[in-house]
Amino acid sequence: MIEGRSGSRRSWAATALLLLGLWPGAARAEDPPASSTAGDAWIVTLGGTVSYGPSFEGAKTLVPYFMPSFDIRRADEAATFSAPDDSFGVDLFDFSGVKFGAVAGLRDARPYGVLPSVPGYNWALQAGVFAEFWPVDGFLRTRVELLQGLASDAGLAANLSADMVQKAGPFTFAIGPRMSLGDNTLMQTEFGITPAAALANGHLMPYEADAGIKSVGVSSSVSYDWSSDWTTTLYGSYQRLAGAAAASPLVTQGGSPNQLTIGLGFEHSFTIGH
């Protein structure tokens, strides 16, 4: 892309939604033989990734979690690169080589009680739009996602990314920069401290987290196609909190601006219809 992380980063409700397709997924199956692309055939990709990353935004502690993935495309549609941190998207139209579409994801949660007297927050569905463009076809991809949370405390997020992609036989290598931004609602929910919370905590000062850049970093992945049906992906991501996020007492006192995630994923593709 996708929350009270006690051994698992996502809730069972979120997992159910993911299995319905509201989660980042990447289909890397090779194009099927021409005979299988006729009619109403579709290629479905199901998978999952075991990751190890921050227990919530700005946390110093790392926890393991499992993230299912889902993707579907027409059998006569060529498979294209998708990064492990892409949100689930559906292409709507292509204008002079720039793809536009709808996108969906999940805002992570912070478990209640993990920070003394500072409220947690639940996972939230996000919906929005994306634009994707390849300045160098097959090698350099750029992508922008705008995601509005569908909960009162979720806010608006913007994710900007660029990836250099190189295919070598069964391997696909990718690496590129990342930037995330948030509006006042999102930043205050994740990094702000209300006067009431500060008073109850006794060690933290009130803090207003303004809108702006939340983090900058880099993400990389390497995928191996065992066959046209099976793919394994190893990925890593480093994000450095910035601006109001990095200055939050939740980060400077007990948290960390350095957010590192690693993961190993498996995907299986199959054709349905004919």
Helix/strand/coil for 220: strand
Residue 44 lies in a domain: yes
Q: Is the separation of the CB atoms in 202 and 189 below 8 Å?
A: no
Q: How confident is the model at residue 131 (pLDDT cuts 50, 70, 90)?
A: very high
- What average pLDDT does this structure show over 96-103? 94
Tell me the three state secondary structure of residue 25: coil
CA 268 vs CA 29, 156, 229, 262, 271: distances in Å: 8, 33, 5, 21, 10
The arithmetic mean of pLDDT across residues 16-38, rounded, is 40
Mean pLDDT (the chain, rounded): 87
Q: Answer whether residue 35 is part of any domain.
A: yes
- The confidence score (pLDDT) of residue 160 equals 98
Three-class SS state of 236 = strand
For the chain, percent of residues with pLDDT exceeding 90 = 76
Cβ neighbour number for residue 169 with a 10 Å cutoff: 7
Enclosing domain of residue 60: 12-272
**Residue 222 tokens, joined:** 């390497």
Q: Are 56 and 110 in contact (CB under 8 A)?
A: yes
Q: 184 Cβ partners below 8 Å, 6+ apart?
A: 155, 209, 210, 211
What is the structure's pLDDT at 93? 93
> Is there a domain that residue 2 lies in?
no
Hey, which residues does 71 pair with through a beta bridge? Answer: 45
Question: What is the tens place of the pLDDT at every residue in 151-200?
Answer: 999 999 999 999 999 999 999 999 999 999 999 999 999 999 999 999 99
SS3 267: strand
Asked if residue 179 belongs to a domain, the reply is yes
Asked if the structure places residue 222 within a domain, the reply is yes
- The answer to whether position 1 is within a domain reads no
Q: Mean pLDDT across the stretch 246-259?
A: 97
Distances from the Cα of 20 to the Cαs of 9, 36, 44, 71, in angstroms? 18, 24, 12, 10
Per DSSP, the three-state class of 198 is helix
Residue 4 lies in a domain: no
List residues bridging with 56 in a β-sheet: none
Q: State how many domains the chain has.
A: 1
d(CA 68, CA 48): 4
Q: Mean pLDDT over residues 54-68, rounded?
A: 93
The gap between the terminal CA atoms of the chain, to the nearest Å, is 30
Residue 152 domain-assigned (yes or no) = yes
Q: For the domain that residue 166 is a member of, what is the CATH number?
A: 2.40.230
For residue 137, which phi and psi values (nearest 5 degrees)? -55, 125
- With b for 16 or more beta-carbon neighbours within 10 A and e for fewer, the 2-38 pattern comes to bbbbeebbbbeebbebbeeebbbbbbbbeebeeeebe
Write down the pLDDT at residue 12: 34
pTM: 0.82
